[in-house]
């Protein structure tokens, strides 16, 4: 039996003050080159903030979805009514704009800030000064499962949207322009 590392970012909305440092640092960390630009629309964490309803809800980008749900959810917790789909982590959902790259439309998925050498803790956790985000790691036994890399997920999403022929044509054009 193989072992897998389970990474958990614990979210405590009661502690969040809506400062959005997590969004800014996540976006900067994933810029190319790293830290060259800060565009929170590219963050893999989004903070739903409604000061009138006293809502501060950090949400991490999760798996990619190709189609919106047939039924939407709407939570009311301790008297606070959250927006439809507020807790949903799906990336690139056609029914909303979060967790999509603003230029390409590609899904933006939290990768736990994987880098070499690894960070001690994900960046959003490090910059959250009020412990609304905290981090835990543990090991679990698992069957080996094939895992699609982010690049493959992105390509699959483009193929689903535009069709294989168009994506292949575009890639051939990009390859030709890079060689030229």
The answer to whether 16 contacts ligand SF4 (rule: CB under 6 A) is: yes
Indicate the residue among 55 and 85 with the shorter CB distance to ligand SF4. 55
CB–CB of 112/126 below 8 Å? no
Least distance from C-beta 160 to ligand SF4, angstroms?
Answer: 24
Least distance from ligand SF4 to the Cβ atom of residue 154, Å: 15
Crossing angle for the helix pair 164-179 and 150-162, nearest 10 degrees?
120
Q: Which residues contact 74 (CB under 8 A, 6 or more apart)?
A: 81, 82, 83, 84, 86
Report, in Å, the least distance between residue 167 CB and ligand SF4. 26
Distance CA 25, CA 12 (A): 19
- Per-residue b/e over 43-60, b at no fewer than 16 CB within 10 Å? bbbbbbeeeeeebbbbbb
Task: Extract the tokens encoding 28.
Answer: 């900067």
Count of Cβ atoms closer than 10 Å to residue 105 Cβ = 14
Nearer to ligand SF4, 30 or 93 (CB): 30
- Which of 59, 88, 93, 133 is in the footprint of ligand SF4 by CB under 6 A? 133
Which of these ranges, 72-80, 86-94, 117-125, 169-177, lies near ligand SF4 under the rule CB under 6 A?
A: 117-125
Task: Report the residue number, 35 or 162, with the smaller CB distance to ligand SF4.
Answer: 35
Structure tokens at 158: 């483009």
Distance CA 34, CA 32 (A): 5
Which string of x and - marks every residue 54-93 that binds ligand SF4 (by CB under 6 A)?
Answer: ----x-x---------------------------------
Least distance from C-beta 43 to ligand SF4, angstroms?
A: 6
Residues near ligand SF4 (CB under 6 A): 16-22, 26, 29, 44-45, 47, 58, 60, 110-113, 122-124, 127-128, 130, 132-133
């Amino acid at each position: 039996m193989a072992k897998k590392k389970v990474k958990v970012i614990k979210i405590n909305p009661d502690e969040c003050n809506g400062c959005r440092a997590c969004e800014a640092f996540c976006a900067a960390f994933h810029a190319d080159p790293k830290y060259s630009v800060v565009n929170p629309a590219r963050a893999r964490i989004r903070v739903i903030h409604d000061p009138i309803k006293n809502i501060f809800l950090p949400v991490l980008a999760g798996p990619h979805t190709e189609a919106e749900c047939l039924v939407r959810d709407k939570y009311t917790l301790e008297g606070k009514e959250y927006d439809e789909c507020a807790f949903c982590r799906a990336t690139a959902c056609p029914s909303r704009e979060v967790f999509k790259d603003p230029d390409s439309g590609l899904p933006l998925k939290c990768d736990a800030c994987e880098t070499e050498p690894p960070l001690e803790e994900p960046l959003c956790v490090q910059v959250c000064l009020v412990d609304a985000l905290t981090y835990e790691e543990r090991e679990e036994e698992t069957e080996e499962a094939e895992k699609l890399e982010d690049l493959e997920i992105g390509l699959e999403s483009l193929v689903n949207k535009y069709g294989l022929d168009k994506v292949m044509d575009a890639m051939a054009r990009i390859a030709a322009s890079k060689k030229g």
